[in-house]
Chains A and B, each alone.
Chain A
């Protein structure tokens, strides 16, 4: 803080009567502040769910699938809006544009071998590739067996397809569908539903309100020993209240 503040501070104590006599009394600073490391405390700019969102990564058929899947995985029902209404498809599309979409922090060197499930993810597919191949394979299965793409099916049919994908009974040579479902689609839907609205989902913090989660409040000293309903609504990272 040293330099900038000292200068700003001294500005007030410097008095220049001869200069003042020429009619200059502006106190506005011409200084360019030094880089302020405290400013790095702020999160990235918010990109909340938008009504007119256009996908960046997903193609039109993929976008239709993602929206339809979101609507079934967390439906709009008596308990309030679902994943589609809260912007979860936007969340997933945006995530494809982050390092996550390219598996940037995963070890992706070969050789690749299949192993027992306990050894975790062993595919060379990145999240982007999982979606591309997974959606294509599911849509192909639906077209072949049900005569329409997934998005064009009735909700009950969609649920049935998703259950079969989850159980591993719909298989594809093109994509590891069971892994795609549990490790990507369902996981990312949950993330988008419950994550901070700045990422594009959880519009108006509705998912937090559904379960009574206070979001980014992060302060419960006075409440932690009170086993009762917590009375306050959530706040998001950018300070919006609900």
Chain B
């Protein structure tokens, strides 16, 4: 988190200055969510809204496991303590039952509640700002008409009250929120546009997959930057590069393979890991095949991110040949790989079909930040169950078997074998990730 910490420091300095200079001058009126005039006459479709909720994966953050649907209360860790997601059921007192559609749209697009309070951008309103009036209206209809009201009060953040002030977030919004709907590019066809709309908007892929800038904002929310969706690092995970890079990106994947991953959590190239498992389990597997294909088509249209500093992949049989010649002992980490990993991932690194991920050219293995790779070695992982592929295949953890130095050697071996060419992993990297797991 060193990079992130530097960002935070810059934010701190900038904001101290900004608060001092402009704090009192901020417009504290409720912003206009810019709903089109046609909305007043449109009949909302709550059934369609249910699908919108799935596309947006609202339940991921607003439903606790085993709790009432969308009643909030999911703890979201912050540096100062937990904040909790809110109740978005139609309960009038505790939920959004008293909201007008305009109120709702303002929350979704600008992160401002009816009482003027600012949401923390943990709520991805910078992405939801892309969502169309119609989709928002149907979503609102679903939430207010089809969801059971749950009288669950919002939980008080576990943050000292003095530090709970939210109004300075307006400054952040001013700097980083693009309050603009998705603008189609007709020349690129219906599927591309649908995919772009979903990826940038409801599916809010950039929240995890786009690197963040100095203000900890996503550096691009509309594909305008070659770093959009180019992979990031977030609290012990490294969401992968979704662009066309042949090394750490999806350059060698077909659109169908991307769509398959979204439907089942697995593909011939890789399997989902970490948070993405929940996204597949709760959202993407329930998307229509057309929507998954549209997402895949859009992702496949993203040109490679600048290659500088990125890993490459040029498939090579040298690693397997060395193993078969009994030469493993000259390469640190090779023997550990043979002892702990090859039973599934094979000495060739090729894995096995959809059951065991291919490590050569794996975006997770080659990611700029090795956090996810280290994390999965230390802690193991389990695939989500999906309707099409219910097996929750799991990788057992090996953090108990190897110390930081050994895990670093193992991860480095994986990042530099079978044609993978990524930077080595240090024991300090492993120590940092291991600490984050405790």
Contact = CB atoms under 8 A, between A and B. Distances in A.
A235 B401 CA distance: 12
B252 interface: no
A39 B208 CA distance: 26
Interface string A29-53: 1110100101101100000000000
B163 interface: yes
Nearest to A3: B65
B233 to A, nearest CB: 8
A30 B81 CA distance: 7
Contacts of B217: 15
Contacts of B234: 9, 12-13
A13 B436 contact: no
Interface in B73-87: 74-83
Given A10-B122, A217-B338, A20 B78 contact: no
A28 interface: yes
Given A6-B61, A11-B235, A20-B15, A232 B328 contact: yes
Contacts of A19: 78-80, 159, 163
Interface in B381-395: 381-382, 394
A217 B339 contact: yes
Contacts of A115: none
A11 B82 CA distance: 9
A235 B382 contact: no
B438 A33 contact: yes
Interface stretch (B3-11, B240-248, B291-299): B3-11
Interface string B323-340: 110101000000110111
Contact of B165 (A18, A216, A217): A18
Given A5-B274, A42-B397, A219-B338, A14 B78 contact: yes
Give the size range of B's interface with the partner: 35 or more
Contacts of A219: 338, 342-343
A222 interface: yes
B79 A24 contact: yes
Contact of A14 (B5, B120, B165): B120
A23 B9 CA distance: 8
A2 B165 CA distance: 29
Contact of B76 (A11, A23, A29): A11
19 contacts: A1-B274, A5-B274, A5-B278, A7-B75, A9-B235, A12-B233, A14-B76, A15-B11, A15-B120, A17-B169, A19-B163, A25-B8, A27-B436, A38-B396, A38-B397, A219-B343, A222-B348, A232-B338, A239-B398
B183 interface: no
* Most chain A CB inside 10 Å of its own CB: which residue of B80, B215, B326: B80
A224 interface: no
* Most chain B CB inside 10 Å of its own CB: which residue of A11, A31, A216: A11
Contacts of B394: 38
A238 interface: yes
Contacts of A36: 379
B156 to A, nearest CB: 15
A28 B347 CA distance: 37
Secondary structure type dominating chain B contacts: mixed
Nearest to B236: A8
Contacts of B436: 8, 27-29
* Most chain B CB inside 10 Å of its own CB: which residue of A17, A20, A219, A241: A17
A235 B79 contact: no
A218 interface: yes
B30 interface: no
Interface of A: 1-3, 5-31, 33, 36, 38-39, 41-42, 216-219, 221-222, 231-232, 235, 238-239, 241
Contacts of B326: 231-232
Contact of A20 (B8, B74, B82, B435): B8
B278 A2 contact: yes
B66 to A, nearest CB: 10
Contacts of B167: 18
Contact of A12 (B4, B124, B323, B396): B4
A238 B15 CA distance: 51
A116 B347 CA distance: 51
A18 B163 contact: yes
B223 interface: no
Contacts of B74: 3, 6-7
Given A8-B436, A13-B121, A221-B346, A42 B12 contact: no
B83 to A, nearest CB: 7
Interface string B250-281: 00000000000000000000000011011000
B99 interface: no
B379 A11 contact: no
B82 to A, nearest CB: 8
Nearest to A216: B339
Given A8-B77, A30-B77, A41-B396, A25 B5 contact: yes
Nearest to A236: B339
A13 B204 CA distance: 12
B219 to A, nearest CB: 14
A187 to B, nearest CB: 29
Given A13-B122, A14-B121, A42-B397, 15 more contacts: A3-B65, A8-B235, A8-B237, A10-B61, A10-B235, A11-B76, A14-B77, A19-B78, A19-B163, A20-B15, A27-B5, A38-B380, A219-B338, A219-B343, A232-B338
Contacts of A20: 8, 11-12, 15, 79
A241 B335 CA distance: 8
A15 B77 contact: no
B26 interface: no
B359 to A, nearest CB: 15
A25 B208 CA distance: 20
A38 B378 CA distance: 11
A29 B339 CA distance: 32
B81 A23 contact: no
B168 A7 contact: no
